Structure 1
Amino acid sequence: MAQSAGKKLKLTGLVAATFTPFTSQGEVNLSEIGPYIDYLTEKQGVNSVFVNGTTGEGMSLSVAERKLLAEDWCRKAKGKMEQVIVHVGCTSLKDSQELARHAVEIEADGIAVIAPSFFKPRSAESLRAYLQQVAAVAPTVPFYYYHLPALTGVNVPASDLLDGIETLIPSFRGVKFSGSDLLDFGQCISHVQLDWSVLYGVDEQLLAALVLGAHGAVGSTYNYLGSHMNKLLSAFESGNLAQARSLQFKMQELIRHAVKVGFDVGVNKQLMNEVSGLQLGPPRLPVMPCPQEHAVSIKQKYQHLFSTH
C-alpha cells in the first residue's frame, strides 16, 4: 500500500518536466526512459520529474499511453530519483480519476491536475470541486494543482483556489504555478502551509520566484539546463545575487533567441535531442517537427552561452 500523503518528502529543488519519447513513427518509445533518467541525474543533477505534462504532450496522449509512460517512469526511477510526479489532468473527469487510481497502483510520489480547458471552471469553487473529485480516488498520494492559465484559459487566481482547499483535499500538497502573475504567486506563498510546496513553472523568471519564496521549480529547460540552474539555486541560497542574475540572464537570452526563431514543444524537444544525445523523436501532431535550421540556431546559442562553464 502507498504511504500516507503526509509522509512523503516535501517537493523542492528543480523538477524536469519530461518530454515523451516517440519513435519516428510516432509511437511511445519506452526504451529511452532509462537513459533519460541517467542523463538527468548524472549530467544535470536533476532528481525529480513531472511526467505527462505540457512538455510531455500529455493532452495529446491516450489514457493507455499515459498509464504506460507513468508506470515505466516510476519503475525505472525507483532508487535513482527522489520523486516522480504524474500529471493526471484530462478534459474528462472520469479519465482523470482513472489515471489517479493508476498512480496509486504504480506508487507515484504525487499527482497533479490541470484545470479542464474545454468546459472550463469559472470560479474557484467549481475548480476546487473538480479537483476534489480527482483527489478523492487517490487519497494516499500527494496532490498538486497545475496552474497554467495561458493554455487552459482558466483565469481563476491560484491563491483563491487555496482558500480552504486542505479541508476538501486532505492530500493537497501544493501548486505547480506556471503563470507570470507574481502577485498571485506571492499570495500563494504567503498563505502556504508548512508541508505544501509552491513550485514555479516559468523558467525565465525563476530568480524572481525564488525571491518571493518558491520552494522549487518545474520546467522543460531543466532537462538540459539543470546543472546551470542548480548553480543559480546555490548562488541565491548563498546570497550571491550577482551570479544568480548572470545565470538567469543567460537563460533569458537563450529563450529570447529561441522565441524569435519559433519556440514551441517541438522545437524544445529537438533542442533536448541535440544537447543530450537522446533519441526522443518528433512531437505528435498538431505540434509540428522542428525545422533543422531552427534546431541548429538554438543549439549554437546554447553552446555560446553555456558551454564555457
Structure 2
Amino acid sequence: MTKPECSKQEASNTKSKAEKDSQISTPETAKALFADFVPEESDSEEENEKQDDKKDENLEPASKKSRDSNSKKYIPKYKKEWENKPELKAWLSESIHGNTYFYCKFCKKDYRCGISDIHKHMSSKKHALKAAMPAFKAQKFKFRGLLCPVFTPFTNLKRVTPDVNLKAIPKYANFLKACNIKGILINDITGEGMSLTIHERIDLADAWADACEKTNQFLMAQIGGAPLKDVIEMAKHAAKRDIGAVVILPDLYNKPKNHLDLIKYIKLISEFTKNVPILYHHNPKFTQVEIDITSFLLDITGEVDSFVGVIYSTNDIQQSTAAMAVNREKFTVFMGTDEAILGAAASGFTCIMGTSLNFLPKLVESICVAVREGEIKSAQTSQNLLNRTIDVIAKQGDYIAASKAATDIITSTCGTTTREPLQTLWEGTTKKLQCKLRELGVM
C-alpha cells in the first residue's frame, strides 16, 4: 500500500472511530441529556444534612415514584396500632397516600412504611430537630350558634366596580348583634369575596375585626377562591389579626380532582395560618367540586392539625349528618342551607349558617328555639314562612343580588349595590320586592 493510501485509510479509521464514539455518548433519555449539568453539592451545610439523613435513605417521600411494580420485594403496610406506642404517639399518623406510607406530624412529610423505617426516621437528626421545636397547639373550635355570611356594602356610585363602603360595617355588626347573631363570615360567596381584590378583602377583615371586638362576635374570614399567592397573603393576615377562624373554598380554576387533592391544598395553606382554625366550605353548586365529605374528613385526620370542620351548603341532610358523625370532638359541621334549617336543628346540628340571617335573623332563630323546646308545629310554620320568603326573593333575579336588596329593604344595613358581573337589582324590581315582602308580613 502506498503512503497516500495509508494516510487515507488511517483518516477513514479515525473518522469511523469518532462516529462510533459519538453514537455511544449520545444520551438516550432526557435525564441522561442533563446529567452533565447537575450541580455538585459542595456546600458544607448541604453535605452535613445529606450525611445526617442517611438514616432516612430508605424512606422515600410519597411524591416520588414507587418501586417497579414487577418487584417481588415485600412492601410493609401501615398498622393503626403503631400510633399507640408511647414513643410514636405524638407524631405518627397514617398517610393520605395509602397504607404503604406513614405521615410524620413533626416533619410534615409522608414516607414509605415499615416499623423499622419508622424507627430509623425517628432517630434521624432532622426529625429530632423538628421534635424539639415548640409543639403546635391547635385551638379548639368552640363556636356554636348562628353564623351569618354577611354582604359586602358598596358605595352607591353608578360604576362597574363600586368602592367598598367600610363605614357601613359598625351599624351592620350592631344590628346582627341585637338579633343574637354570634358569628360573622366575611368574603364568602354571599359577600362577593371573589369579586374583591386582595387588598379589599384584607381591609374588610380589619374593619369587621374592629367591629366584632366591640360587639363580642366571633369572626370568620373566607380566604379561598383566589390565586394561591393571594390566599397565602390572606392566611398570614388572618393569623396576624388573630381572626377566629378561616374558611377555604377550593381553587376555582385548577379545581381539585378528588378529596386527596383538596387535602393537599388545605395542607399547603395551613402552613401560613399558624394556630387559626380552618374550615372548608362545601358548596358544589357554586364551585363545581363534588367530593365525599365523609371520606375527606376521615383522610384529613392527622394531616392538618388546625383543620376543624366543614360548612355544608347542600340540601342533603343525610350526607351532612353522616359527616357530622365522623368525629364530633374534632370536627364541627355547619348546615349552610336556608331551606334545611328545620331539618338541621332536628338532626342535632348546633352550628347553622344561612343567607337569610341577614334579613330574617329572628325568624331563623325562632325555628331553632322551637325545635329545641319540642314545638315542632311552630318550627314548621316558621320554616314555611322562611321558604316562601326565599322563593319570592329568588324570583326577582340573581339570588345574591335579590337577597342583598331584601336585606337593605328590611334592615337598611348593606345597601343594594353589587359589583359586576352581578347585576344590582333594578329600582323598579326592588320596589316590587318590597311590596311582596309586605304581603308576606316579614316587614
Q: Provide TM-score, normalisation by structure 1.
A: 0.93
Q: Quick check: 18-27 or 271-280, which moved more? A: 271-280
1:265 and 2:400 correspond: yes
Higher relative contact order (CA 8 A, sep 6+): 1
Alpha-carbon distance in structure 2 between the residues aligned to 1:82 and 1:218: 15
Structure 1 match to 2:350? 215
User: Secondary structure of the equivalent of 1:198?
Assistant: strand
Equivalences for residues 217-296 of structure 1 within 5 A: 217-296=352-431
Residue number in structure 2 paired with 1:38:
174
Which of 134, 139, 145 does residue 6 from structure 1 map onto? 139
* Secondary structure in structure 1 of the residue aligned to 2:359: helix
Rg larger in structure: 2
Aligned residues: 304
The amino acid across from 1:6 in the alignment is: Q
In the alignment, which residue of structure 2 is the partner of 1:204?
A: 339
Matched to 2:232, the amino acid is Q
- Matched letter for residue 283 of structure 2: L
CA distance in 2, matches of 1:159, 1:293: 46
Q: Root-mean-square deviation (CA), in Å?
A: 1.8
Please say if 1:150 is aligned against 2:285: yes
Q: What corresponds to 1:17 in structure 2?
A: 149
> What are the residue-to-residue correspondences of 1:68-83 with 2, within 5 Å?
68-83=203-218
Moved more, 291-300 or 45-54: 291-300
Call closer, same or farther: CA 1:306–1:14 in 2, change over 3 Å: farther
Instruction: State the identity as a percent.
Output: 26
For structure 1, the residue ranges without an aligned partner over 5 or more in a row are none
Per-residue Cα deviation, 1:193-236 (whole angstroms, up to 9, x for no partner): 31432111111111112223222211211011111111111101
Alignment of 1:59-98 (within 5 A): 59-98=194-233
Flag structure 2 segments of 5+ consecutive residues without an equivalent.
Answer: 1-135
The residue type paired with residue 51 of structure 1 is I
CA contact (8 A) 1:261 1:294 kept: yes
Secondary structure at the aligned position of 1:231 is classed as helix
- Paired AA for residue 229 in structure 2: K
Q: Conserved in 2, the CA contact under 8 Å of 1:273 and 1:279? A: yes
TM-superposed CA distance for 1:284, in Å, is: 0.3
8 Å CA contact retained: 1:15, 1:46: yes
- Deviation of 1:106 (Å): 1.2
Q: Which amino acid in the other structure matches residue 171 of structure 1? A: S
Letter paired with 1:234: V
CA–CA separation in structure 2 for the residues paired with 1:281 and 1:61? 17
Which amino acid is the alignment partner of residue 27 of structure 1? D
For each residue in 1:53-87, what CA deviation from the matched residue of structure 2 results, as whole angstroms up to 9, or x when unmatched? Answer: 01110000011110000111011110413300000
- Letter of the 1:155 partner, please give it: E
Partner of 1:130: 265
Q: Could you say what secondary structure the match of 1:36 adopts? A: helix
- 1:167-207 Cα distance to aligned partner (Å, 9 max, x none): 11111111111122223212111213314321111111111
161-170 vs 240-249, which moves further = 161-170
Distance 2:364 2:138 in 1: 29
Q: Which residue identity does 1:34 align to in structure 2?
A: P
Secondary structure of the corresponding residue to residue 217 of structure 1: strand
What amino acid is the match of 2:344?
A: A
Separation of aligned partners in 1, 2:366 and 2:137: 33
Question: Are 1:168 and 2:303 matched, yes or no?
Answer: yes
State the distance in 2 between where 1:175 and 1:214 align.
12
The 5 A counterparts of 1:100-139 are 100-139=235-274
Match in the other structure for 2:13: none
* Per-residue deviation, 1:6: 2.2
